Structure 1
């Protein structure tokens, strides 16, 4: 190995190295190891950390998707794989609560969600503002609002999902190394090489699932990802949390006042708080220097959005706690999944744009197919990471 530098340790060869062990990386490790490959997982931080995007107690899962009907087949596959993951792990991961996409009837989100549901033959209901309030009196939509109700939607808990997938990967003999930072990835004549701050690894393939750090690891791809700092809040509802438990309160996403807000039922019971945030907007950030302090004006922005829409969450003293997470957004908000060059030795799943967690097990399966077969059973042309090259 002619380019090994003085003092570097060269490790034995692996079939595939997975770089980044959050939601997507843990899914890839689990799927690749289950396929019988010799897998090395590398993570710059500890297991199930809260410094990227795979944390925050809950993530929405939704099929009547406002991003477009082309996402629905992939979501259907994800639903199947969430069920399989539950069966293999013996743990409940997906909590079906029903979900509402709310906003102006002539806006962007509601017509798009309705179109996806209709084109793909999904079970759904189209509700007026009065019907929304009648079914869920916690909501106060204005008369110009409508909603698409998706009875199959709900939430998963990211920390639990990552833990379960890592445990299953280990059971299938994946080797997982934490607190080891990848510095360089290269394609070689007969495989790939990964250089970390600890060692050099010769591998057949590399799967890069490093979120906001992925573009820095793949400079030749020149992936135009913008890192955005986002704030998540939890509230103690006025009158108690009983009406905000799963089964009595849905997953929701709401377009209004030039913003898109979202929220979930109380994922951790009566004393865990009710989550809400703003999906749109965000502050550009360096993932290595993120400001984790949540300011009063950031809290006030979300409270202002909730005040007329879900008033029981927005009153004085309702705010409970906060957290910061990161979005890695592509210019078109679609993911980047696929090989980074014609050699196909390095594949990436990045540019998740704040909406990929619902797809996690399906993306893990696709990454395994790209490594083992060079193609995927799902049509992922929308997500080709090389689509930005001409720009």
Structure 2
């Protein structure tokens, strides 16, 4: 007999676990289906930590969402009983005319966010782990920090289960189709029906939503953890999370958290668009060389022995803004995808947004920028 649910969520990673929790909290009968483990290292939500920041250079419209995300991270960590969000401060540094610096300052000014503007030289003096170009300009914001990414997935999943949700891992969705006003979902283990469907399958989203083909494009990323020569300079209390634009590209990084080495990567890395089922998941010598050369120049006190390298995926849209919407021909289906390397911090609030769209058909959150039809 096919079991019927109020809602089915495909993909129980950062976004899907939060959505499953938010739906279950509203008393919904929810099934979350995850192809891999909960959590896993095959997609975009692993790697110990993820940056969270209020100074949002991509567009000021993100600020109300990230403010709500902070509130919801506090809610879930309180309910679960484990700290998930840690504030270290954040640094956004770039040449004075670069969109990274200008956008970060603009968002702070428009939303009255506490911040300082420093030169690169002042950043280096205040935080000796840094050695960024002295003539760069930087926005320093005290509430930036990091979220423990895998632990947050665990927290959302456990709390969703406590609210009555069912989560099934190691089960691959092979198809879904509308059925009346609801949906039928087929997996490699069986079939399920539901009134509503939420698709949060990350790099696999275009496999489940035809309209995302060529819009939500997976790209191979590589992260490095290098052991600093002076680890205390890279501890969370001495080393804010950062975004840095230099000639070599745009990079981001975090302090030493839970595992040896400070963590960093390059946005879009080597610009390798991939099939998520065929991607080379083994870091290559060129990956390490690219990252190490950057660290030796801009974080020389941190460029000690390699402690770890890891691959993951960004799923990029053409404008690098998210897709959060219901499908025009199937309003019972909501999708969130294309987070373009800056989405995880929003997972807690994306879960709330998707629950709104699923239960109420609308949300009060500002998501107009993320409409799917902008690519038509």
Provide TM-score, normalisation by structure 2: 0.97
Q: CA deviation at 1:108?
A: 2.1
Which residue of structure 1 lines up, in the alignment, with residue 365 of structure 2?
A: 378
SS of 2:354's equivalent in the other structure is helix
Which residue of structure 2 lines up, in the alignment, with residue 256 of structure 1?
A: 246
* 2:323 alignment partner, one of 330, 333, 336: 336
How does 1:316-355 map onto structure 2 within 5 Å?
A: 318-355=305-342
CA contact 1:223–1:385 (8 Å) conserved in 2: no
CA contact 2:254–2:264 (8 Å) conserved in 1: yes
Which residue of structure 2 lines up, in the alignment, with residue 309 of structure 1?
A: 298
**What is the CA–CA distance in structure 1 between the aligned matches of 2:330 and 2:33, rounded to whole Å?**
22
Which residue of structure 2 lines up, in the alignment, with residue 103 of structure 1?
A: 94
Is the aligned partner of 1:177 residue 2:177? Answer: no
- Structure 1 runs not aligned, ≥5 long: 1-9
* Residues 304-352 of structure 1, C-alpha deviations (whole Å, 9 max, x = no match): 112221111225xx21111000111000101111101244111101111
* 2:267 alignment partner, one of 279, 290, 294: 279
Q: CA deviation at 1:223?
A: 5.7
Larger mean CA deviation between 330-339 and 273-282 belongs to 273-282
Q: CA deviation at 1:258?
A: 4.6
- Structure 2 runs not aligned, ≥5 long: none
CA contact 1:117–1:123 (8 Å) conserved in 2: yes
**Kindly tell me: are residues 309 and 186 of structure 1, through their superposed partners in 2, closer, same or farther at Cα, counting changes over 3 Å?**
same
Which residue of structure 2 lines up, in the alignment, with residue 127 of structure 1?
A: 118
**What is the CA–CA distance in structure 1 between the aligned matches of 2:200 and 2:132, rounded to whole Å?**
39
Is the aligned partner of 1:115 residue 2:103? Answer: no
* Residues 343-389 of structure 1, C-alpha deviations (whole Å, 9 max, x = no match): 4111101111111111011000000000110001102110112322x
Which residue of structure 2 lines up, in the alignment, with residue 194 of structure 1?
A: 185
SS of 1:67's equivalent in the other structure is coil
**What is the CA–CA distance in structure 2 between the aligned matches of 1:312 and 1:222, rounded to whole Å?**
43
Which residue of structure 1 lines up, in the alignment, with residue 227 of structure 2?
A: 236
SS of 1:367's equivalent in the other structure is helix
* 2:33 alignment partner, one of 32, 42, 45: 42
Paired residues, what number?
375
CA contact 1:259–1:280 (8 Å) conserved in 2: no
Which residue of structure 2 lines up, in the alignment, with residue 159 of structure 1?
A: 150
Is the aligned partner of 1:366 residue 2:353? Answer: yes
**What is the CA–CA distance in structure 1 between the aligned matches of 2:372 and 2:213, rounded to whole Å?**
10
* Residues 127-163 of structure 1, C-alpha deviations (whole Å, 9 max, x = no match): 0122111110111122321100010000011110001
* Residues 17-68 of structure 1, C-alpha deviations (whole Å, 9 max, x = no match): 0000000000000110000000001011111000000100110000110101
* 1:141 alignment partner, one of 132, 142, 147: 132
Is the aligned partner of 1:294 residue 2:321? Answer: no
* Residues 50-93 of structure 1, C-alpha deviations (whole Å, 9 max, x = no match): 00001001100001101011110111111111111112111101
**What is the CA–CA distance in structure 2 between the aligned matches of 1:184 and 1:367, rounded to whole Å?**
21
Which residue of structure 1 lines up, in the alignment, with residue 11 of structure 2?
A: 20
Larger mean CA deviation between 273-282 and 124-133 belongs to 273-282
**Kindly tell me: are residues 278 and 221 of structure 1, through their superposed partners in 2, closer, same or farther at Cα, counting changes over 3 Å?**
closer
SS of 2:255's equivalent in the other structure is coil
* 1:71 alignment partner, one of 62, 78, 85: 62
Provide TM-score, normalisation by structure 1: 0.93
**What is the CA–CA distance in structure 2 between the aligned matches of 1:307 and 1:334, rounded to whole Å?**
31
**Kindly tell me: are residues 294 and 343 of structure 1, through their superposed partners in 2, closer, same or farther at Cα, counting changes over 3 Å?**
closer
**What is the CA–CA distance in structure 1 between the aligned matches of 2:302 and 2:129, rounded to whole Å?**
9
CA contact 1:340–1:386 (8 Å) conserved in 2: no
CA contact 1:228–1:326 (8 Å) conserved in 2: yes
* Residues 162-216 of structure 1, C-alpha deviations (whole Å, 9 max, x = no match): 0111100110111111111111111221211111111111100000000011111
**What is the CA–CA distance in structure 2 between the aligned matches of 1:141 and 1:321, rounded to whole Å?**
23
